[in-house]
Amino acid sequence: MDGAVTAAGGDFDAWMHDALRDVEQALSRWVPADAPAGLGAAMRYAVLDGGKRLRPLLVLAASEAVGGRPAAALRAAAAVELIHAYSLVHDDMPCMDNDVLRRGKPTVHVQFGQAQAMLAGDAMQALAFEVLTPDDDADLPPVLQARLCGLLARAAGHAGMAGGQAIDLANTGRALDPDALREMHRRKTGALLQGSVLMGAACGTTTPAAWAALADYGAAVGLAFQVVDDILDVTQPSATLGKTAGKDEQAHKPTYVSVLGLDAARAQAAALREQALAALERSGLAAGRLRALAHRVVDRVH
């Protein structure tokens, strides 16, 4: 992959290996095993030892690109992954997508029951904001805490992820035009992916122009991720995905493949990658990690 060895130096795979280890350790430290009555076990099951950790990687890569404080970025990375993981727990429940397999394991409600799954998701959302507001951490001063809480809340809430899920829910079984589909995904998955980039950027210093360029990068990568997700849903078996394949089609959900067709969806993913890379050029930052992540998002097979 061209983007793997970057202008910023260093090997991308080695960086990613270390980043994933740091994120895993941070989550393991901050998601409490001793939360009462099995809640901790359910929370840890939902978030540890699984997942691509794309959002944390975007946070850490963006922070590195703007000279952010690594300890602050690690908290932001863990917080955004907690939001993502809670949304999967709630999404998988019988009243939503009713899925039984996630990251190759039984979903949380299958393993712990629906009530505990709902509570674990709720507690994970709160925990994300706890992780962002340490009482005493010189690397995360209150001004940055407030900024990160604000970005995360807006990415997760009605204008972002939760709003996108409501649109998804309302449109299952209906035809959507490409613009409406794009708007749904801009909120449902795009907002949190873009939010990850911006939270990383908030950990350092940026010009307004660089901030805007990073926002464009995040929007393009966020949409590319969803287009590729829709492609993989019809081209890969469940065992590769670690979740039930063909689910969207069975559920009559509008996807990029169903709306555009497979070839046009692939062309769309490639175009979004170019948009993301062009935005990084505009940012004027040495953003090799973010370049490499844009390639990974589009080239991934699961």
Contact residues for its own copies (CB under 8 A)? 32, 35-40, 43, 86-87, 90, 93, 95-96, 113-116, 118-119, 121-123, 125-130, 132-133, 135, 142-143, 145-147, 149-150, 152-154, 156-160, 162-167, 169-171, 187
Query: How far is residue 15's CA from residue 164's CA, in Å, rounded to a whole number?
Result: 32
Entry field: residues in the chain: 302
Identify which of residues 32 and 242 has a Cβ nearer to its own copies in the complex: 32
Identify which of residues 93 and 269 has a Cβ nearer to its own copies in the complex: 93
Residue 217 structure tokens: 């990068």
Which one, of 92, 97, 90, 72, lies nearest residue 201 by Cα? 72
Q: How far is the CB of 213 from its own copies (least distance, A)?
A: 20
Identify which of residues 35 and 262 has a Cβ nearer to its own copies in the complex: 35
Which one, of 232, 179, 214, 188, lies nearest residue 286 by Cα? 214
Q: How far is the CB of 130 from its own copies (least distance, A)?
A: 4
φ, ψ of residue 262 to 5 degrees: the values are -65, -45
Identify which of residues 6 and 255 has a Cβ nearer to its own copies in the complex: 255
CA 271 vs CA 81, 274, 276: distances in Å: 27, 5, 9
Q: How far is the CB of 194 from its own copies (least distance, A)?
A: 15
φ, ψ of residue 103 to 5 degrees: the values are 50, 35
Identify which of residues 155 and 269 has a Cβ nearer to its own copies in the complex: 155
Q: How far is the CB of 71 from its own copies (least distance, A)?
A: 16
Residues 176, 173, 169, 248: is their CA dihedral positive or negative? negative
Q: How far is the CB of 112 from its own copies (least distance, A)?
A: 10
